[in-house]
Structure 1
């Protein structure tokens, strides 16, 4: 499941792919994620366990590009920025001006990593 969001057409800005990986223990309880920016609504998604929902965007020249996501898993909720100017510095470089940011959703919370490797992730948020 991939979505490309063009927030600017400048070839001089960095391109980011934000990955949201469903690493929950099972599919018994429905899980959904709804991501938005000021200009783009990416819609409600329901990735199952093991799925990598991802979208790509370009940071604008003012470095104000921001995407946040609302998460729902049964009665548990959470909302936070998955991409902003500060998090962009923690994303992993793939090649010139192309970066990836990884969010892993687990039963105990949300983990961020600049690369998709176990040692890259650190816990950032708990479920509410």
Structure 2
């Protein structure tokens, strides 16, 4: 009997997204999901980060996050066309498709370079 293995074919551009907890002395929880996948809830301690990789779909990639910290809660798009365009348009040396989120006490900031705050960080939403 002969078995053949067919490699998994993935279409689209590979992206890496990182969420960093910039809230001193407190962890945050984030539930990350897309239309087709649930990446689960992740606890990110102070000054630590969580990263994941995905492949951009030709039609409409959207990934959201539900954040909680203490009694605060906020939902926001972590990946959508506008966010990918921002990160794509601010690439440094064409390194790749990278988006960085920084959660601060006053809100959620986006960057494509992960430069020291506040350089290259754009506030996208408040708590």
Q: Do the structures match in fold with TM over 0.5? A: yes
For 2:111 and 2:93, locate their aligned partners in 1 and report how far apart those are by CA, in whole Å: 17
For residues 98 and 126 of structure 1, the distance between their equivalents in structure 2, rounded to whole angstroms, comes to 28
The TM-score, its normalising length taken from structure 1, stands at 0.82
Task: Please report how far the alpha carbon of residue 97 of structure 1 lies from its aligned counterpart in structure 2 after TM superposition.
Answer: 8.4
2:69 equivalent in structure 1: 73
Pick 1 or 2: higher relative contact order, CA cutoff 8 A, min separation 6: 1
Q: CA deviation at 1:123?
A: 1.2
Could you list the runs of 4 or more consecutive aligned residues of structure 1 that deviate by over 2 angstroms after TM superposition?
92-98
Gaps of 5+ in 1: 1-7
Aligned ranges for residues 1-128 of structure 1 at < 5 Å? 9-10=10-11, 13-27=12-26, 30-62=27-59, 64-91=60-87, 92-93=90-91, 98-117=96-115, 118=117, 119-127=119-127
Q: Distance in 2 between matches of 1:40 and 1:95?
A: 31
Alignment partner, residue 5 of structure 2:
none
Distance 1:46 1:14 in 2: 27
* Structure with more strand by fraction: 1
Structure whose alpha-carbon radius of gyration is higher: 2
Give the CA RMSD over aligned residues.
Answer: 1.8
Count, aligned residues = 115
